[in-house]
C-alpha cells in the first residue's frame, strides 16, 4: 500500500490529513468526493493505514509495524471496507456496521470504516447510518467515498469533514504511469491527456484499448451521430443512462473528441490533438460538421454533463442531448 507521502497529486488534502494526525485532531467522519478514478480510494486506504499505525511518523504511517503490514495485506481486524451489495448499500449492511462499532477495537486504538460509493445507500440505510454519525464514538473513524455527493443526505454531509478531490494534471498522470506501470516517458505523456485527470483511466489505457471499453463505446457512438435516426438517438440515450457515472465519463470522452475536431479544423496541427491513437479516424470525421456545429455539439455535451452532475434525471438529460445533436445533421452519407 502506498504511504501518504508517496501519493502523486492531491498534496493539499494529504497535508490536511497529516496535520490532523500530528495534532491529534482526527475527525470522526470524512467525505472524500470527486470524479471516479482520481485516487480517492488510494488516499483513503493510505489514511486508514496511518490511523491504525503503531508508530506514525510526521503524520504518515511508518510502513514497518505489524499494523502497517496487516493493512498492506488487507487483513487488519480494525479496518472495515463496506461496498454496495449489488447496486446499493443496504440497511442490513449498516446494521452490521453499527454492531461492529459497539465493540472495542480488536488490536489498535480505533476502528476505521471505508464506505465506497457511499451515495448508493438506500433511504433506510442512510437514515440508519445517520444515527451512528449523530453519536460518534471516540474509537471510530468513518471515511466515505463518493463520486456523486449530491446523492447523500444533507444531514450526513453536514457531519463529515468534506475533502474535494480534483482531477490530476497531465504531468501528474504521466508521472503516475511511469511510477506505477513503468510506462516509457513518451508513451506516458501521450496517454495522459486522454485520461482527463484520472490515473485509473490512464492505467486502463496503458493496458491497451480493450482495457477501457467505455472509450471504444463512446467513440463508436460519436461515429454514428450523423446517420442516427431520432429513434436510434433515443435508444442510445437509454443505453447510456443505465449507469450515471459511466455516462458522465462517456460525455468527457466525447468532449475530448469534438475538441480535437475543432482544434484540427483551425490549426491543421496533428501533434496538438489529444486522441493521438485515433488520428486517422479524426481526420476522416473532420468534415462531417461545420465548425459552428461542432461548437454547438460541445455545448450540448457540456450542458448534459452539468445536468448529470447536478443530479438531474439521467435518461432525460441524455435524451435531450442526443436529440439536439441529431438535429444538427452532418454528413448523412457517412458510413
Instruction: Give me the CATH topology for the region 4-164.
Output: Rossmann fold (3.40.50)
- Cα separation, 89 vs 152, whole angstroms: 12
The torsion angles phi and psi of 154, rounded to 5 degrees, stand at -55, -35
pLDDT in the model for residue 210: 52
CB proximity list for 111: less than 8 A, separation 6 or greater: 78, 80, 100, 101, 105, 139, 140, 141
CATH 1.20.272 applies to domain 212-327: yes
Residues 6+ apart with CB under 8 A from 35: 147, 165, 167, 197, 198, 248
For the chain, give every domain's residue range: 4-164, 169-210, 212-327
pLDDT of the chain, 335 residues: tens digit per residue: 678 999 999 999 999 999 999 999 999 999 999 988 889 999 999 999 999 999 999 999 999 999 999 999 999 999 999 999 988 999 999 999 999 998 899 998 899 999 999 999 999 999 999 999 988 777 899 999 998 898 899 999 999 999 999 989 999 999 999 988 898 998 888 888 888 888 888 888 887 655 578 888 899 999 888 889 999 999 999 999 998 888 988 998 999 999 999 999 999 998 888 888 889 999 988 888 899 999 999 999 999 988 887 778 999 999 999 999 988 875 544 33
Q: What's residue 76's pLDDT?
A: 95
Number of H helices, E strands in the chain: 15, 5
Nearest CA to 126 out of 143, 102, 151 is that of 151
CB atoms within 10 A of CB 159: 19
Distances in Å between the Cα of 324 and the Cα atoms of 103, 226, 228 are: 56, 12, 12
Question: CA 175 from chain center: how many Å?
Answer: 19
Say what the pLDDT of residue 332 is: 44
Amino acid at each position: 500500500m502506498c504511504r501518504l507521502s508517496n501519493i502523486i497529486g492531491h498534496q493539499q488534502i494529504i497535508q490536511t490529513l497529516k496535520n490532523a494526525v500530528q495534532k491529534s485532531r482526527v475527525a470522526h467522519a470524512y467525505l472524500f468526493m470527486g470524479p471516479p478514478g482520481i485516487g480517492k480510494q488510494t488516499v483513503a486506504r493510505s489514511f486508514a493505514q496511518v490511523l491504525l499505525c503503531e508508530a506514525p511518523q510526521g503524520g504518515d504511517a511508518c510502513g514497518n509495524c505489524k499494523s502497517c503490514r496487516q493493512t498492506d495485506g488487507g487483513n487488519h481486524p480494525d479496518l472495515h471496507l463496506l461496498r454496495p451489495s449489488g447496486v446499493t448499500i443496504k440497511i442490513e449492511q449498516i446494521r452490521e456496521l453499527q454492531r461492529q462499532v459497539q465493540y472495542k477495537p480488536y488490536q489498535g486504538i480505533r476502528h476505521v470504516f471505508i464506505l465506497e460509493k457511499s451515495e448508493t445507500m438506500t433511504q433506510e440505510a442512510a437514515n440508519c447510518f445517520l444515527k451512528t454519525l449523530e453519536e460518534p464514538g471516540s474509537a471510530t473513524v468513518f471515511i466515505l467515498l463518493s463520486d456523486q455527493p449530491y446523492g447523500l443526505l444533507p444531514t450526513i454531509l453536514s457531519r463529515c469533514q468534506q475533502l474535494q478531490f480534483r482531477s490530476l494534471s497531465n504531468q501528474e498522470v504521466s508521472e503516475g504511469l511511469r511510477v506505477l506501470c513503468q510506462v516509457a516517458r513518451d508513451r506516458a505523456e501521450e496517454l495522459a491527456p486522454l485520461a482527463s485527470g484520472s490515473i485509473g483511466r490512464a492505467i486502463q489505457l496503458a493496458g491497451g484499448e480493450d482495457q477501457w471499453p467505455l472509450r471504444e463505446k463512446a467513440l463508436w457512438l460519436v461515429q454514428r451521430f450523423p446517420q442516427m435516426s431520432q429513434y436510434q438517438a433515443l435508444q442510445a440515450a437509454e443505453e447510456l443512462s443505465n449507469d450515471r457515472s459511466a455516462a458522465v465519463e462517456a460525455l468527457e470522452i466525447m468532449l475530448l473528441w469534438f475538441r480535437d475536431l475543432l482544434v484540427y479544423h483551425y490549426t491543421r496541427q496533428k501533434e496538438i490533438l489529444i486522441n493521438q491513437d485515433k488520428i486517422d479516424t479524426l481526420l476522416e470525421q473532420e468534415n462531417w460538421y461545420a465548425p459552428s456545429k461542432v461548437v454547438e455539439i460541445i455545448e450540448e455535451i457540456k450542458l448534459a454533463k452539468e445536468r448529470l452532475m447536478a443530479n438531474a434525471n439521467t435518461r432525460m438529460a441524455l435524451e435531450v442531448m442526443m436529440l439536439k445533436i441529431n438535429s444538427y445533421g452532418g454528413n448523412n452519407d457517412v458510413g
